[in-house]
């Protein structure tokens, strides 16, 4: 292969830690590399399925577990790259490759010869003398093939294959539409008076954004949280707040080329058809059978138990705002665009405290060091920045993680600042390589956390809001689980969707503990440690606002469930009317929209968290109870509790049933009281 036609994705990666050679990869390299990787993967699967030897655990289950290494590593680079640098060329390539990749994966999961070998082993599993993790791998492999349709007759398989391909295509289109809608909206302010109330950092960021758009001398605000949230919290112009929030809430709902309503209707119908083929009344029942929750009834029981107290608390918060709004001359009902603005004023009135007072103490680099400090205190691990390794994006940083004994645990990338129009919204943890074993040696994972935090402007550093700080701790909790994971078989790594948020959410608990704040929360200008009176105010106000936060979250979770619990989908399903009815019937007040309205609910209609958005609150039952295990000892860094949490939860991934793993750690199943206490809803 000559230098002009070489493809770095298909070469051996002679880089530190086996990191992808990101700086050498071009968009044109992806398609031929993925097609070649699919070809190689197909050969591996064919060899396993056609093996003339009788099936054994090693020649079938382990061989399958080890297959697809080339495909997995190349596709990880491509899919992650598309999330952080979604150029038009990359999005077009995603659209082109989506049906090809879907067909490839369906061909594996519906391979009759392969499934026959797996079934033979599963049927005789008690005679194989398997160790517990081997039995788990065999059982879960069999169940995954069965749930993917491997046991269906040929005509149903073909029908399911077409449905799966179409679902993948629509989910991708949905996500791309949301990305475009987010990028296409800009609120331009041309009068400095309309910036009254905004912190200077937000004003500077808006001026810089306007400059980038060729509107020097004006101010531009977008729909990414880093730009939008300060405006909604602090800008005095009510009409402009309303215009900005309306732009956010109506993404994918504008009747244009990026409208997502028809996509939602088709996805709901296709999901229901898939459930019917698999023998279930509705898609929610099909999905939840494989989760901790097991049934829709269990999910609704939890959500309904919280809805009443959350809504009651939210109404109290709303009542606190009206006198302040009235004093400012507001004579009509408060709007959704008023909530964050007047909530900040109500909080300041109640606690003599504003969120903006905190920001100088939450410099990005200091928060990161605080996160490292907590991980070190809990697990003895350390992080060292790597300056001469390839990174997924020029703005990303890399760190090596080592255990207390000096052994390597993994590499983590951090790409934490917003790139509107190119980077997917929100924050997430992903991976370029899962931990696995090769010839008895642990191969370290390569993990990445991605965010959309507010950048520093000029000489000022990036200062995080409390919400961004908590998000940073959250995503790092996911990364910790990946870095500390130590499973023998890759198929045993995945945690169920409603268990996977436990490691991330428990990590949030340390973010604002006074003992931890004293270590990392230092004024960016003076180096002064956060004053005790500010810590006390933060602590006292910590539960204020949980009515709104819990209600908007529950509304989105219920919306997700309600779409997929229907046994029959109405022929005239109207997305906006459906959303308004199911939430209106539950009494959701007009000032609180769901955290995600249907047409930009990428968690659900972009895939990943379909019938799964409830998982955050389900896992919060676990994380609140698990954190109580530390608090009960009087030491939030109790080494015995940390050791058990690492060994029974973080290291084991999906090696056993999720509740079994939890009980192994805690000694009992969790109760809901710690969650209610944590949110101030008890």
> Which residues belong to the active site?
475
Kind of pairing, strands 187-189 and 219-221? antiparallel
Give the three-state DSSP class for 24.
helix
b/e 104-125 (16+ beta carbons within 10 angstroms → b): bbbebbbbeebbebbbebbeeb
Inter-axis angle of helices 615-631 and 658-666, to 10 degrees?
A: 20
Q: Count of residues for the chain?
A: 682
| Residue carrying structure tokens 């994971």 | 485
Q: Is 481 left (phi over 0), alpha (psi -120 to 50) or beta?
A: alpha
As a whole number of angstroms, the distance between CA 549 and CA 556 comes to: 11
User: DSSP secondary-structure letter at 199?
Assistant: -
Per DSSP (E only), the strands in 319-420 are: 382-386, 397-402, 408-417
List the one residue out of 485, 534, 492 whose CA is nearest residue 514: 534
Strand pairing category for 397-402 and 408-417: antiparallel
- The DSSP output letter for 650 is I
Residue 546 burial (CB count, 10 A)? 18
Residue identified by tokens 């679902």 is 167
What is the Cα–Cα distance from 141 to 473, expressed in whole angstroms? 33
Report the first-to-last Cα separation within the chain, whole angstroms.
67
Contact between 399 and 414 under an 8 Å Cβ cutoff? The reply is: yes
**Is the CB of residue 621 less than 8 Å from the CB of residue 510?**
no
Task: Quickly tell me which residue has 């880093």 as its tokens.
Answer: 226
E-strand ranges in 342-478 read: 382-386, 397-402, 408-417, 428-433, 436-438, 441-443, 446-453
d(CA 6, CA 22): 14
CA 19/CA 73 separation, integer angstroms? 10
- C-beta separation of 202 from 163 below 8 A: no
């Amino acid at each position: 292969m000559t230098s002009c036609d070489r493809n770095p994705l298909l070469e051996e990666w002679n880089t530190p830690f086996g990191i992808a050679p990101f700086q050498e990869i071009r968009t044109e390299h992806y398609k031929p590399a993925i097609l070649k990787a699919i070809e190689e993967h197909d050969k591996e699967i064919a060899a396993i399925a056609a093996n003339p030897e009788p099936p054994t655990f090693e020649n079938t289950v382990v061989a399958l577990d080890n297959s697809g290494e080339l495909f997995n590593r190349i596709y990880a680079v491509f899919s992650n790259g598309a999330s952080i640098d979604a150029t038009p060329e990359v999005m077009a390539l995603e659209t082109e490759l989506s049906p090809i990749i879907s067909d490839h994966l369906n061909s594996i999961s519906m391979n009759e010869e392969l499934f026959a070998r797996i079934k033979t082993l599963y049927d005789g599993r008690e005679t194989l003398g398997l160790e517990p993790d081997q039995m788990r791998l065999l059982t879960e492999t069999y169940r995954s093939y069965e749930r993917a349709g491997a046991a269906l007759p040929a005509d149903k398989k073909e029908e399911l294959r077409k449905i799966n391909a179409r679902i993948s295509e629509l989910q991708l289109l949905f996500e791309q539409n949301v990305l475009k809608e987010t990028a296409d909206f800009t609120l331009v302010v041309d009068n400095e008076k309309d910036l009254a109330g905004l912190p200077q950092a937000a004003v500077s960021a808006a001026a810089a954004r306007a400059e980038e758009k060729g509107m020097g001398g004006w101010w531009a605000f977008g729909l990414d949280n880093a730009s939008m949230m300060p405006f909604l919290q602090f800008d005095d112009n009510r009409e402009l707040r309303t215009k900005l929030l309306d732009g956010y809430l109506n993404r994918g709902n504008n009747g244009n080329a990026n409208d997502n309503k028809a996509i939602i209707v088709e996805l709901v119908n296709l999901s229901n058809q898939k459930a019917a083929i698999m023998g279930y009344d509705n898609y929610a029942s099909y999905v939840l059978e494989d989760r901790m929750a097991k049934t829709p009834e269990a999910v609704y029981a939890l959500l309904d138990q919280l809805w009443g107290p959350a809504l009651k608390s939210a109404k109290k918060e709303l009542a606190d705002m009206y006198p302040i709004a009235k004093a400012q001359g507001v004579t009509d009902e408060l709007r959704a665009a008023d909530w964050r603005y007047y909530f900040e004023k109500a909080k300041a009135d109640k606690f003599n405290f504003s969120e903006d007072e905190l920001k100088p103490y939450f410099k990005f680099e200091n928060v990161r060091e605080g996160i490292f400090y907590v991980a070190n205190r809990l697990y003895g691990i350390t992080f060292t920045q790597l300056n001469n390794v390839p990174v997924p994006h020029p703005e990303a940083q890399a760190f090596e993680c080592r255990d207390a004994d000096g052994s390597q645990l993994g590499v983590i990338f951090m790409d934490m600042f917003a790139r509107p129009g190119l980077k997917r919204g929100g924050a997430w943890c992903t991976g370029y390589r899962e931990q696995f074993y090769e010839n008895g040696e642990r191969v370290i994972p390569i993990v990445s956390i991605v965010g959309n935090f507010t950048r520093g402007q000029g000489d000022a550093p990036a200062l995080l809001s409390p919400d961004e700080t908590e998000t940073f701790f959250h995503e790092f909790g996911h990364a910790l689980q990946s870095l500390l994971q130590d499973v023998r078989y890759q198929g045993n790594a995945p945690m169920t969707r409603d268990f996977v948020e436990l490691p991330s959410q428990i990590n949030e608990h340390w973010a604002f503990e006074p003992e931890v704040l004293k270590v990392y929360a230092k004024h960016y200008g003076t180096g002064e440690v956060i004053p005790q009176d500010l810590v006390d105010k933060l602590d006292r106000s910590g539960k204020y606002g949980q009515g709104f936060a819990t209600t908007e979250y529950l509304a989105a979770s219920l919306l997700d469930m309600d779409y997929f619990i229907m046994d029959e989908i109405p022929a005239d399903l109207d997305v906006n009317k459906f959303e308004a009815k199911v939430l209106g019937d539950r009494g959701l007040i007009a000032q609180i929209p769901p955290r995600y309205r249907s047409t930009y609910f990428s968690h659900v209609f972009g895939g990943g968290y379909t019938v799964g958005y409830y998982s955050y609150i389900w896992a919060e039952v676990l994380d609140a109870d698990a954190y109580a295990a530390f608090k009960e000892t009087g030491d939030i860094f109790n080494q015995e509790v940390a050791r058990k949490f690492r060994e029974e939860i973080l290291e084991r991934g999906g090696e056993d049933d999720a509740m079994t793993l939890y009980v192994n750690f805690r000694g009992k199943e969790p109760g809901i009281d710690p969650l209610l206490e944590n949110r101030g809803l008890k």
